[in-house]
A and B are shown apart, each in its own frame.
Chain A
């Protein structure tokens, strides 16, 4: 049995009178890829933001590598090794690839005056991207010159380079063509094989990410309603569950139970 990377225990989150998450418990092992699936508004983003330290849960506990922790901020979570890759990738279009790779963790030639060590950042970025088999023309180009898949790959590579132990991917294949998403999923597979990185993929497109996940959790109305190993379920079963929920919701509206 491998080691536990991240676990939540009965997490709930309310914003005023709106409850976004109820009693959510998830468990993630090292080297495991967990698919966190659910429709828009199911609470995926809220859960992500709690795990990245952006929001604090209203109630519930978070365990990181077996120890209970309180995530104070995004920087705190990142310092621990919980690295988010957001949908907008948090890349700066106007800035070149290697500076983006080190954004907010810049190497500096002079600490006092905060002068950037471009040569070293460039060298390390080049080396690391090559290792991750990310194919880009050069680390000197601005992000705006790259395709969506290349950007995603750089964002993932950045997180891994930052020594991520838990990688949180938000909709990695959203708005992407078949080829592009194949490239991303390939990078994720490499992560799983090479490093002992635990990955959570948040997605609402089940078919895209299904293959790469070891386990899937389904989030509906702020609750985990389904938790199973990928090999014991199918895309069809998941779709069925979501459609069932939709039908029930519609019935609730059309024929409210009093």
Chain B
């Protein structure tokens, strides 16, 4: 394309009209991908609070946190996998599997802390298998993880016999890993926030994050400069599965029960929806973990708010689906506007 290099840009930047600091911050905020989803979330809170005054009560916020925290942890891993250009359908099944690994390890005499590590290790193994099959055997990850989804589900059902089990951790483990504090899911909230912060940091500030973006943004180019794309993909599959395992164990402690039918594709789709609503592109190369966190919160607000407003469970999914689509359309519109009007 014979486009001229935009010579005018340096000049226009050299003579700015020195906007106020607040203006700069405001503009930076509107330019960030997380802005639109945050605004959508606030609008939804206002709407639901006006229709159902119980919405902002402590017990309801606790409900919301429980839902959003689990999905946000799953979404953080899913974001990493999606950014590097892959997809993980199996993470919801790892969520169900890990508590059983932990439970049986504890039954066999392993202390809980170590049993939790073993549960996460089980997740890491699943991620490793997902990654190796995808990268080394060149199977699209959509197919790979579709296969492992069923395998893990079957495995969990087999080892559990299809029945839930009840772990009995000591109060310390219970309090640290998911148990509510004074009726409020404090530890779960803290874990979700910490994991979101950690993964956003990894994505934005570390070499691993940069190489993840590079792998998803330009696979060939990334390999040409010598980035180990196979390892980046395998590693992110492992991170995603480990987070899935961790979220599963948190929920298991919270409700003092491990259910072989918990999580599954429902949680996986909610995590993916959170990622996408939060601004992660399914085509890879671009995404944010904070956005996915906000996406999970918005999903939580939607399901919780509709439940409070008395919308029936049948109609709820239709409304949720519509809400996802509308959010996405608005998001795409906004980012187009940003790209066109922003320039920088």
Contact = CB atoms under 8 A, between A and B. Distances in A.
Interface of A: 73-75, 78, 84, 86, 88-95, 99, 103-104, 106, 108, 113-116, 118, 135-138, 140-141, 145, 147-150, 175-180, 183
B297 to A, nearest CB: 25
Interface in B214-258: 214, 217-218, 220-222, 224-227
A137 B344 contact: yes
A90 B218 contact: yes
A90 B206 contact: no
Contact of A141 (B1, B7, B225, B344): B344
B220 A94 contact: no
A145 B344 CA distance: 8
A176 B131 CA distance: 38
A149 B1 CA distance: 9
Contact of A94 (B10, B206, B217): B217
Nearest to B5: A147
21 contacts: A86-B220, A86-B221, A91-B221, A92-B213, A92-B214, A92-B285, A94-B213, A95-B210, A103-B222, A113-B206, A114-B207, A114-B208, A115-B205, A135-B7, A140-B344, A147-B1, A147-B3, A147-B5, A147-B6, A149-B5, A178-B2
Contact of B225 (A90, A118, A138, A145): A90
A136 B6 CA distance: 8
Contacts of A108: 207
B75 to A, nearest CB: 20
A92 B217 contact: yes
Contact of A103 (B206, B225, B285, B286): B225
B8 to A, nearest CB: 9
Given A74-B226, A116-B210, A89 B2 contact: no
B13 interface: yes
B341 to A, nearest CB: 13
B222 A92 contact: yes
A121 to B, nearest CB: 11
A178 B222 CA distance: 29
B9 interface: yes
A176 B1 CA distance: 6
B4 interface: yes
Contact of B214 (A95, A179, A180): A95
Contacts of A84: 224
Contacts of A177: 1-3
A235 B2 CA distance: 23
B5 A150 contact: yes
Nearest to B209: A116
A65 B210 CA distance: 34
A92 B2 contact: no
A182 to B, nearest CB: 11
Given A74-B226, A91-B221, A92-B218, 10 more contacts: A74-B224, A78-B226, A86-B224, A90-B224, A90-B225, A91-B218, A95-B210, A108-B207, A115-B205, A137-B13
A178 B5 CA distance: 12
A88 B214 CA distance: 13
Contacts of A116: 205-207, 210
Contacts of B13: 137-138
A116 B203 CA distance: 11
Nearest to A91: B221
Given A114-B207, A116-B206, A138-B13, A88 B221 contact: yes
Given A74-B226, A75-B226, A84-B224, A148 B1 contact: yes
Nearest to B284: A94
B286 A179 contact: no
Contacts of A78: 226
B213 A137 contact: no
A93 B224 CA distance: 15
A88 B207 contact: no
Contacts of B344: 137-138, 140-141, 145
A180 B217 contact: no
